[in-house]
Structure 1
Amino acid sequence: MASSSSSSCNWECDVFPSFSGTDVRITFLSHLIRELDRKLIIVFKDNETERSRSLGPELKLAVRTSRIAVVVFSKNYASSSWCLNELLEIVKCKQEFGQIVIPIFYRLDPSHVRHQTGYFGKMFKKTCCNKTERVKIRWRKALTDVANILGYHSVTWDNEAKMIEEIVNNVFGKLLLTSSKDSEDFVGIENHIAKMILLLDFKCKQGRMVGICGSSGIGKTTIARVLFNRISRHFQGSVFVDRAFVSKSMGIYSRANPDDYNMKLHLQGNFLSEVLGIKDMKVFHLGAVGERLKNHNVLIFIDDLEDQVVLDTLVGHTHWFGRGSRIVVITKHMHLLRSHGIDHIYEVHLPSDGLALQMLCRSAFKQNYPPDGFMKLASESAVRAGNLPLALKVLGSYLRGRDKKEWMDMLLMFRNGQYGKIEEILKFCYNGLNNKNDEAIFRHIAFFNREKISDIKLLLADSELDVDNGLKNLAEKSLIHEKCNTVEMHSLVQEMGEDIIRTQSNEPGEREFLVDSKDICDVLQDITGTEKVLGMSLDMDETNGLHISEHAFQGLDNLQFLSLFTKKGDLGKESSLHLLERLDHFPRKLRLLHWELYPSTGMPREFHPEHLVKLQMQRSKVEKLWEGVHSLSALKEMDMWGSENLKEIPDLSMATNLETLNLGACSSLVELPSSVRYLNKLEMLDMSFCKNLEIIPANINLQSLSHLNLSGCSRLRGFPSLSTNISSLSLDQTGIEEVPGWIENFTQLRLISMRGCEKLCPSVKSSLPNDSIPRVELNFINCINLDQEALLQKLSVFKRLALSVLSGEEVPSYFTQRTTGTSLTNIPLLQTTLSQPFFRFMACAAVDSGSISISHFSFVIEVSCRFIDILGNHFGSAYWPLYLSTAPLGSHLVIFNCRLPLNEDNAYLAKRDYDHVDIQFHLMGDCSEFKLKGCGIRLCEDYTPSPDIAAHRQMKSTVDKKRRQMKSTETVQVKVKCGKTERPKKQIERM
């Protein structure tokens, strides 16, 4: 009997094929593997390993770590003791942990395998010679057992391709229903997955939207996460959009409410970046998703949907996406699904009493059943929790490790009516926290939900709370969970936490945390705050013109966290919060000061920033922050982006722990104070579009500084003095005239962008970083004085040049192969090239942006190569560099190194007689006015054509007729996104 331990296996492959190489390797099996690869199903490949009589430990491991074994019986299968021993291992895995076995009888009668008769039987008897009786019996039994499994008989199929398609669909379906590590802790999950697989209907070639609907806490997100993890690798692109993703995607917009056009664009850009694996994509019209993904087979999950606008913005129609795409929307609001035209909906219902008991036991006892003596207690507890998965998990975590008496005491309180509703059960678990520290951490997390754990620790560092242990204990009690350095609390648990805080007092000004807009308005307008208030978080869009006096913060002596933000992204809007007069003070203990659109030109008369960890005042009207020198050792982040009235930065010499300083778009700033030289932990300095900035301190030699952005500082003339540790340097549209020679020592530099630096001298090429840099992106668009040819000579030394952009109309003569079209053909190919891991050349694309009048645009250039032999056989490889531009209009030259990964089975390909290569350029952009005017390549120095290539070509011409008749091709698909190479997958196609 197969055990249930299959879910515990560490799967390495999806499919292990067992076959006779002499019969099927280059025919049927190659077709089957090609189709499996196309479905992104991982197949174990032995790469024609020399087979011995015994089965080695590596191959045994390969069998055991494959989810499915496909056994291809052919006439010579039994002639190999290797195959028969392989079959024994497969049968053993089937018995031990339920490995799925699919037999295929290729041009062979299944009864001949079952009874070892006919030619198959003769081969079997021959192999059995000199074998012990025990071995013979085991082989016979294995053959009979596997032949009795329902499989595929090729003789009954008129079309072999159709049979292969059916086999692959069967394998794909079984993989989706195979449990794995990600699901073994979720009771009943496989039943949910099976029902979702039916709704998704992967046999349907068209795109499809499916909904998951159910009440809060019922397990919708759990189902979605497991399903996504299981099927996402079978798609060309995938993304799981949750609340944290949407909020993070808003960037400077603070939070997610994309009812504004700019927000929709920003959200779409981040969405496309995630799906396509391309960093920092920007879009400029709301048709970008459809344009970019219409030919992509993608998987998209949108979780915890509350807003129809998010749905419309990201997945407006199925025709936005390629054939076979699947979109899954998870929400508790059925009307959102219906209004979007989603008819395939899976409604998640409460689990049965039996499953609910298992869920509770899994949480309380780490097993699916209660220990002796706990059955009645556990059963009643599950019923009291209303069978709701969230409540079962939280209650089980609370009861973990408790004895019978504690269980009975809890149930007695339930019976007496003290706790009945789900919210009350959650509150009961909160009351069961072991100490005041954990309770306080819980209330803080209800305020800081979905914030970075590192930020929470910094903000609470000055308190007496044990944050690490508190978070650990809350996670063990299932009241929070940690994901990607972010702490998340379920919405029901957060609401319960906010309710607990409300019960602290009938007066809002006497509660720890305030998040209700009416409560905050009352406290600030009526000046009723007290020292009990620790935090305020106000969405100013929820207020209708709030007017407060200069004494608004009087009494709030212990206020540490102040966040006044706007969800809407209208950069030109005015604050809905108005100061009647300049504030007289901010509380001295403030650690977080986040006030967008701060309405006053001056800070409070009494302002003590000594405790600040984060100062975020984007788009404020403030002209000056504070006078004098303050101890700012706690300050980690200072963000004044868009504060156009800010005229000077205070002395920051004591901000020795500052890591991020964002002064972007502070257009009134004239100079950066010399005190920045003391910021020894500063990592990012952004002063982009400070259009009046003229002075940078002579020596900002900060060892920690890795990102500097001075783009748009048009009055800046001198190149900043920097540490050699800088990795990203943006100097677009500055007045810089010369790049100093010492920049060649910047070995960490990955990006230098100087677009539109019209005064840059021609000799910049002598100052470029040296070729020891592993990967660098250079941008010199509209630097009209540059010596282009000299620069190209310099660029040629960069073996890992990511990207270089210059202004220009035509592909320079430096590129030895060039054309005004999009294709380069018949480029001589060294016969030994395919034994190398990469085919390398420098590429150039001449791109015309036409007459478009936008400040930002983006496009992708796809370069594909086709290596062809004298008989017409070929394989291909592709590379996608990315180019994002903020340049003015005109023609551009995009130059980059292509390192095309060759097939993983290079030894096999090297036997082929490939003699030339065709290269195709393809442009994909946001705007139809983009044109590819020409392209060119220059083979790298380590590549030299074969001396006998001409003779080889003459021989090739004699077989042209045969080549036209041949219809077989071999392809290799390779994706390179932002310099990261996915493992190539071999594909073989026979036509």
Structure 2
Amino acid sequence: MNLREALTTVAALLLPALILICKWLFRRRRRSSNNNPQLSESTCIVDSSASTTGSDASLPLPTGDYEVFLSFRGPDTRHEITDVLYHFLIRSKIRTFKHDEDLHVDEGIWPSLVEAMKESRIYVPILSETYAESKWCLKELAEMVEYRKQDKGRIILPIFYKVNPRDVRKQSGAYEEAFKRHMKNFDDKTLQIWKDALKDVGELKGWHVTDKDGQGAIADEVFDNIWSNLSENYELMTDELVGIDAHLKAVVERLDLNSKAVATVGIHGLGGIGKTTVATAVYNKVCAHFDRHYFVEDVRETLQRRDGIVALQNKIISGIAKKATPVSNVSEGIRMIRDRVSHYKVLIVLDDVDDKFKFDGILGNSENFVSGSRFIVTSRNIKVLTLLEGCRLYEVGEMSYEHSFELFCKHAFRKDSAPHDYAALSRDIVSTTGGLPLTIKVVGSLLFKEDRAVWEETLLRLRETPETEVLDRLKISYDTLDDEAKQIFLDIACFYVGTDKEKASYMWSDCKFYPISSINVLVQRSIIKIRDNNEFSMHDQLRDLGKAIIREEDMEHPWMRSRIWSDEDALELLLGKKGTDKVKALRVNSSSPETCQLTNEHFRNLSNLRYFDGNSTELTGDFSDLLDNLRWLQLQYHADSGDQLTNFHLNKLIILDLRGSDITDDWGGWTHIKVS
């Protein structure tokens, strides 16, 4: 046998095996793609450039526990609204079936599509101009309508993409032409079923997308509707009670509610260990024993402001006295607390204090308070609490391993225990969290609905991070966010804790950060919370993380960072005329009686500034060609300052906040603050 014959024989033997291997790799790639939202296409979409001949062309599509089924015509919408919406759904871990009808090749694939529709609860047909040209799109739509008739719990959310809903309902225009062509290949009964389906869907409330509409913004709205309809499936069982009983009992004992003395209890422990959770549970349990009660959040953060003590005093006065005129200096605040607060039997929680907190310097002498009053103070620093006279200490230690595991499961699986095949891996991950509830919640939420490969990679990263580096562990979740969610997280951490969600969302929408889906991701990851009053809330450790990320942008030069929240750094930038195009958000917001005078020259080079809170500043000069990207402006104006500001044309302004100003409708300055 010569060499050529030998090679031919070997090739003949290897070719069948090679074909089998290629088929196996092809199937595996499709399964992997479906589980990996980072890939550009899901399993439901086969490469359109691949050959459509051979037995592989009719392989059934993979099935799964789907929640949303997208039906669309690829050439019309694949790289537009469909991909944007699919991205929003996948990053929120909503199991979505996305199949491009262009890639149907025979009837062998249809059973898999039917199975995916049966599993799904929400259908989103994206009805474009050529949608009706596809028999597969029409078959899918008819199937959706039939399932909706059988089960009222199923929902159809149509998107009319650059097509008039009337043409869909009445099969006119492009839809009429499509049906004329279908008449050659399909019987009257089939055509009528498709027409009836189009009529039913065309009458439903949906979204009409035109050439002028921002597709990302509409996809965000559609996502919000989908999320609201699925939200009950994502409601976490409360985790605040995991392991709380022993802490609750110990702190209540230290409060000694039967004693007539004025007493203080100090709760200390590591950041993220659950001090605020314990303080909140105690507050809710015992507040009914007092005439007035108030929970003061973010004491450390408040005291970092130039007017921090006064701001804290005003919080306490308004929280206890309900109606009070704000005080303007510390001495007045102490006097007001003595006259308007201390004559009640009060329970006051002061959460997250540091060495800037001095009880007497903020609230006055504790002996001024009515007997039976109680104070609960939480801090990471035990030394701060030992300086409080007669303070009874309680340390919140790390969670027990079993409580840690239970808390992790509540976030990673939305149940109290782990599935058998994830139990060992879950326990390995919990062992790296140091018993810190915050870390457990954030890591568990990150892994919810993720592939096993993501779990294993996260475990490796946690093991590589020293146990003492809490922020580094929390940053693992931050690193997985997309750019829009990162921008919103950093904005909240630096400026928007306590801000109304809707108010901030107007600005983020205009910046194309897609706030509905981005905020949802942050909530789902346990990175932020939305309070009952619709305001943002964030654990102080996560806020510290956000600010640390900003500081790392330039450790030595604050004016080279994207966000500046410190009055000192902001004034150095403005008065020193050090502005750069890197600065996106800036706050100078003290209640100092002396207003800082700023001219147009101080704002040179701040071309990318989109947020400015200047409540302690007064602006003068010609602002033409400045602040072109400003979306949020917060100032205090006085009636006599209207003619000092000129050419303040804010073309992109979304939020104008003039609270605290004494101006009226006829104020002359209105002619200079205008959008052209």
| TM norm structure 1 | 0.39
- Larger Rg belongs to: 1
Number of the residue aligned with 1:276: 321
What amino acid sits opposite 2:441 in the alignment? K
SS at match of 1:215: coil
Superposition pairs of residues 766-805 of structure 1, within 5 angstroms:
none
Number of the residue aligned with 1:613: 632
Q: Is residue 225 from structure 1 mapped to residue 280 from structure 2 by the alignment?
A: yes
SS at match of 1:275: helix
Relative to 1, partners in 2 of residues 1:472 and 1:610: Cα closer, same or farther, differing over 3 Å?
closer
> Which is bigger in relative contact order (C-alpha 8 A, separation at least 6)?
2
Superposition pairs of residues 19-418 of structure 1, within 5 angstroms:
185-243=240-298, 247=302, 256-258=307-309, 263=310, 267-278=312-323, 280=325, 284=332, 286-306=334-354, 308-309=356-357, 311-415=359-463
What amino acid sits opposite 1:520 in the alignment? P
- Where in structure 2 are there 5+ consecutive unaligned residues? 1-235
**Pairwise CA distance, 1:545:** 10
SS at match of 1:287: helix
Number of the residue aligned with 1:536: 564
Deviations 1:103-134 (A, max 9, x none): xxxxxxxxxxxxxxxxxxxxxxxxxxxxxxxx
Number of the residue aligned with 1:624: 644
Distance in 2 of aligned mates of 1:294 and 1:611: 44
Number of the residue aligned with 1:441: 488
Number of the residue aligned with 2:557: 519
State the number of aligned residues: 433
Distance in 1 of aligned mates of 2:364 and 2:301: 16
Relative to 1, partners in 2 of residues 1:210 and 1:323: Cα closer, same or farther, differing over 3 Å?
same
Deviations 1:878-930 (A, max 9, x none): xxxxxxxxxxxxxxxxxxxxxxxxxxxxxxxxxxxxxxxxxxxxxxxxxxxxx
SS at match of 1:289: helix
Distance in 2 of aligned mates of 1:599 and 1:542: 14
Task: Confirm or deny: 8 A CA contact 2:433 2:467 kept in the other structure.
Answer: no
Relative to 1, partners in 2 of residues 1:629 and 1:468: Cα closer, same or farther, differing over 3 Å?
closer
What amino acid sits opposite 1:595 in the alignment? G
Q: Is residue 488 from structure 1 mapped to residue 533 from structure 2 by the alignment?
A: no
What amino acid sits opposite 2:535 in the alignment? T
Task: Confirm or deny: 8 A CA contact 1:209 1:329 kept in the other structure.
Answer: yes
**Pairwise CA distance, 1:376:** 1.9
Number of the residue aligned with 2:524: 476
Task: Confirm or deny: 8 A CA contact 2:624 2:648 kept in the other structure.
Answer: no
Q: Is residue 593 from structure 1 mapped to residue 612 from structure 2 by the alignment?
A: yes
Task: Confirm or deny: 8 A CA contact 1:626 1:650 kept in the other structure.
Answer: no
SS at match of 1:397: helix
**Percent of matched pairs sharing the same residue:** 22
SS at match of 2:475: helix
**Pairwise CA distance, 1:476:** 0.9
Q: Is residue 497 from structure 1 mapped to residue 521 from structure 2 by the alignment?
A: no
Task: Confirm or deny: 8 A CA contact 1:633 1:655 kept in the other structure.
Answer: yes
Task: Confirm or deny: 8 A CA contact 1:453 1:485 kept in the other structure.
Answer: yes
SS at match of 1:361: helix
Relative to 1, partners in 2 of residues 1:255 and 1:221: Cα closer, same or farther, differing over 3 Å?
farther
What amino acid sits opposite 1:458 in the alignment? Y
Task: Confirm or deny: 8 A CA contact 1:182 1:226 kept in the other structure.
Answer: no
What amino acid sits opposite 1:341 in the alignment? E
**Pairwise CA distance, 1:381:** 0.9
Relative to 1, partners in 2 of residues 1:282 and 1:497: Cα closer, same or farther, differing over 3 Å?
closer
Distance in 1 of aligned mates of 2:340 and 2:279: 25
What amino acid sits opposite 2:543 in the alignment? Q
Deviations 1:436-486 (A, max 9, x none): 332333233333341332332132232111111111111110111122332
Q: What's the Cα RMSD here? A: 4.0
Distance in 1 of aligned mates of 2:620 and 2:451: 63
**Pairwise CA distance, 1:431:** 2.3
| TM norm structure 2 | 0.56
Task: Confirm or deny: 8 A CA contact 2:575 2:602 kept in the other structure.
Answer: no
Number of the residue aligned with 1:426: 474
What amino acid sits opposite 2:489 in the alignment? F
SS at match of 1:602: strand
Distance in 1 of aligned mates of 2:572 and 2:656: 33
SS at match of 1:460: helix
Superposition pairs of residues 878-957 of structure 1, within 5 angstroms:
none
What amino acid sits opposite 1:409 in the alignment? E
What amino acid sits opposite 2:614 in the alignment? W
Superposition pairs of residues 549-588 of structure 1, within 5 angstroms:
549=577, 552-553=578-579, 556=581, 559-566=583-590, 569-572=591-594, 582-583=601-602, 585=604, 587=606
Distance in 2 of aligned mates of 1:425 and 1:323: 45
**Pairwise CA distance, 1:574:** 5.8
SS at match of 1:373: helix
Task: Confirm or deny: 8 A CA contact 1:585 1:605 kept in the other structure.
Answer: no
What amino acid sits opposite 2:242 in the alignment? V
SS at match of 2:626: coil
Number of the residue aligned with 1:86: none
Match of 1:634 among 636, 651, 654: 654
Question: Which range is displaced more, 456-465 or 307-316?
Answer: 307-316
Distance in 2 of aligned mates of 1:202 and 1:182: 31
Distance in 2 of aligned mates of 1:296 and 1:267: 19
Relative to 1, partners in 2 of residues 1:293 and 1:587: Cα closer, same or farther, differing over 3 Å?
closer
Number of the residue aligned with 1:454: 502
Distance in 2 of aligned mates of 1:297 and 1:572: 37
Superposition pairs of residues 705-784 of structure 1, within 5 angstroms:
none
**Pairwise CA distance, 1:299:** 1.1
Distance in 2 of aligned mates of 1:466 and 1:198: 48
Deviations 1:71-90 (A, max 9, x none): xxxxxxxxxxxxxxxxxxxx
Task: Confirm or deny: 8 A CA contact 1:293 1:320 kept in the other structure.
Answer: no
SS at match of 2:557: helix
SS at match of 2:267: strand
Task: Confirm or deny: 8 A CA contact 1:273 1:279 kept in the other structure.
Answer: yes
Distance in 2 of aligned mates of 1:653 and 1:320: 49
What amino acid sits opposite 1:495 in the alignment? D
Deviations 1:581-628 (A, max 9, x none): 945846455432333554774244643568543242668989522238
SS at match of 2:421: coil
Task: Confirm or deny: 8 A CA contact 1:600 1:622 kept in the other structure.
Answer: no
SS at match of 2:565: strand
Relative to 1, partners in 2 of residues 1:338 and 1:363: Cα closer, same or farther, differing over 3 Å?
same
More helix by share: 2
Distance in 2 of aligned mates of 1:244 and 1:308: 9
SS at match of 2:587: strand
Distance in 1 of aligned mates of 2:463 and 2:383: 37
Number of the residue aligned with 1:756: none
**Pairwise CA distance, 1:393:** 0.8
Distance in 2 of aligned mates of 1:275 and 1:246: 21
Relative to 1, partners in 2 of residues 1:422 and 1:271: Cα closer, same or farther, differing over 3 Å?
closer
